[in-house]
Structure 1
Amino acid sequence: MSTSDRPAPTRRRVFAAAGTAGALAAVAAVLPGTSRPVAAPAAPAEPAPPSGGGYQLSEHVQRYYRTARV
Structure 2
Amino acid sequence: MSESKPKPSRRGFMLGAAVAGAATAAVVALPKVEGEQAPTAEQTPPAPANGGGYRLTEHVKQYYKTTLI
Question: TM-score under structure 1 normalisation?
Answer: 0.53
After superposition, what is the alpha-carbon deviation per residue over 1:24-50, rounded to whole angstroms, capped at 9, x for unaligned? 01111222xx34321223342211121
| Number of residue pairs matched by the alignment | 58
Q: Find the counterpart in structure 1 of residue 21 from structure 2.
A: 23
**Runs of at least 5 residues in structure 2 that lack an aligned partner in the other structure:** 1-5
* CA–CA separation in structure 2 for the residues paired with 1:37 and 1:62: 34
User: 1:14 corresponds to which residue?
Assistant: 12
**Structure 1, unaligned runs of 5 or more:** 1-7
Q: 1:41 aligns with which of 37, 48, 61?
A: 37
Query: Identity of aligned pairs, percent?
Result: 33
- Amino acid across the alignment from 2:54: Y
